[in-house]
């Protein structure tokens, strides 16, 4: 029988020297489980990682037969792990070492709760994802997928946007941009821009205008099987960009069409506490979370 393998996915910015990651690794190995330390890698990773004298493993290699990923960081670390593991079906347990840490299951002070994971006393929660495609001159210019949101914004200038659901016009406005979010992403940028909070296990697509220059432009919640289309108006001197899950900026040109649909992939989160979504909202976003 193969030994169960757990990937530890730390963010060096949140866990300097991977000290907490080493603690987690020791807890797992004491339970006679295999633990692999696979640090979060940025496109331009800080040179600090080369100064850490700790043996690490390659995430993609270890993912193939892993049972779980444990992230150490904030929501950004969990998003990075979700994107790296997309399509694998490997569930993610988030340990918050960041700010709000809304997606994380436990805080760093609750590390003793890892015993539940070791004993197999946990459940899995499925979260929908989005596929995004940029069409330029009738050809696919870019494809990506998101757990949180797809953000389209002007580059320091107002842009013209037309939004459609299954080819039916939803709204048209000039403004800073638009957010197309999953229920998981509804508590992130979309909420800050005035969008609704949606239960994360539901299947919906949330469209939220950013600083729209028209009274009628409001956030709208669509069924998950809709094809959401964003068309960029023809203003050659007003460039725009797209960011998926807070990642790198992708240039968007006048006349580009962005299609966003529910993905065939999903992300699974590990749940070991009995905190409800509403408790978490009040803890993280209410007066106590300030």
Strands 34-37 and 257-271: unpaired
Q: Any catalytic annotation for residue 131?
A: no
* Chain centroid, CA 145 distance in Å: 10
Q: By three-state DSSP, how is residue 235 classified?
A: coil
Q: What are the E-state strand segments in the chain?
A: 5-10, 34-37, 68-73, 92-96, 106-107, 123-136, 139-146, 149-154, 159-165, 168-175, 177-181, 204-210, 220-223, 228-232, 240-244, 250-252, 257-271
Per the residue annotation, which of 13, 34, 75, 256 is the catalytic one? 75
Give the Cα separation of 73 and 13 in Å (integer): 8
Task: Output 222-225 pairs: Cβ under 8 A, ≥24 positions apart.
Answer: 222/165, 224/128, 224/262, 225/262
Give the H/E segment covering residue 23: helix 19-30
Which residues are marked as active site?
75
């Amino acid at each position: 029988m193969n030994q169960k393998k757990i990937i530890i996915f730390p963010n060096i910015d949140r866990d300097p020297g991977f000290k907490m990651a080493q603690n987690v690794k020791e807890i797992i190995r004491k339970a006679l489980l295999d633990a692999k330390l696979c640090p979060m890698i940025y496109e331009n990773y800080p040179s600090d990682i080369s100064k850490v004298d700790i043996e690490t493993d390659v995430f993609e290699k270890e993912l193939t037969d892993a049972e779980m990923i444990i992230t150490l960081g904030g929501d950004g670390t969990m998003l990075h792990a979700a994107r790296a593991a997309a399509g694998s079906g490997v569930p993610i347990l988030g340990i918050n070492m960041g700010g709000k840490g809304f997606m994380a299951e436990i805080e760093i002070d609750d590390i003793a709760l890892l015993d539940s994971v070791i004993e197999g006393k946990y459940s899995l929660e499925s979260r929908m994802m989005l596929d995004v495609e940029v069409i330029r001159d009738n050809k696919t210019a870019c494809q990506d997928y998101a757990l949180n949101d797809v953000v389209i914004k002007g580059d320091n200038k107002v842009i013209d946007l037309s939004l459609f659901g299954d080819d039916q016009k939803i709204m048209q406005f000039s403004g800073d941009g638009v957010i197309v979010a999953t229920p998981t992403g509804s508590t992130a940028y979309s909420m800050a821009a005035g969008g609704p909070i949606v239960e994360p296990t539901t299947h919906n697509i949330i469209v939220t205008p950013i600083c729209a220059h028209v009274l009628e432009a409001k956030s709208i919640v669509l069924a998950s099987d809709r094809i959401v289309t964003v068309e960029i108006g023809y203003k050659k001197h007003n460039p725009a960009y797209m960011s998926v899950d807070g990642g790198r900026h992708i240039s968007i040109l006048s006349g580009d069409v962005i299609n966003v649909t529910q993905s065939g992939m999903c992300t699974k989160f590990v749940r070991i506490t009995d905190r409800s979504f509403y408790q978490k909202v009040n803890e993280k976003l209410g007066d106590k979370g300030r």
